[in-house]
Structure 1
Amino acid sequence: MRAGPHTRVWPPPVAVGPTRHFTGRSSAIHAVNTAIDRLGPHATVALCVGESGTGKSYAAALLHCVGPLRHLPLTWLRCGPDLEPAALPATLVTAGTGAYCLEEVAELTPRAQSVVVGGLDAGSRGGNSN
């Protein structure tokens, strides 16, 4: 599987520890770890939100490690403002099958967001996004 200019294939940009949890003793860390344990084995779609540096990518990697698609590759798709809508179908096809972590989706135009959703939806039905 080849990664395009806006994609990275597993391993994630963060290292997943052997405990597959966030480290810490605060109630907030406990709540996040509990949510990952509870939702991870069943989640096919998850939305991780938060400020920069709060661990969204790590949470996505943890969810993938315990999720139903863990046996498939995890592809990180950076959806920054420089990603053109016309390039999205090819980027998704190049990334292949498996799980996706979409980064910076809010930076995309509404049209580009629609193309991403359409491409992922087509892929989930076994089709392609062209």
Structure 2
Amino acid sequence: MGYKVEKSDEEWRSELTPEEYHVLREAGTERPFTGEYNETKTVGIYTCRGCGTELFRSGTKFESHCGWPSFYDPADSDAVELLPDNSLPGRPRTEVRCATCGGHLGHVFEGEGYDTPTDQRYCINSIAIRLEPVVG
């Protein structure tokens, strides 16, 4: 798929920290309970750390106790791209990517019984997003 923001591997490596690059460009995962946004309750907008696209709003963030920030809905359905992920044998998942730059954000799970409007859990790596606090 062609993305609105396309950069060479060299450009991504020069703009991102090694940890950001590993998650966003190599589909890595940060260790659970270590991300800066796992427990934050700050009101704001979560954007892609790779390109700045608005991805999630704090009003859809909820405590899932999974070790990563969880959201029940993206800010806009066109903001994220969902792709099949069969990288774990016997455990098919759905990968979540930024629809603007293709950066790996995490995974989305359905039907886990959380009391949310969508019954979805977007399990997102803190290192792949940036919180823009809303003042006022």
TM-score normalised over the length of structure 2: 0.27
Q: Report which of the two has the higher share of strand.
A: 2
Q: Over alpha carbons, which structure has the higher Rg? A: 1
Q: Report which of the two has the higher share of helix.
A: 1
TM-score normalised over the length of structure 1: 0.28
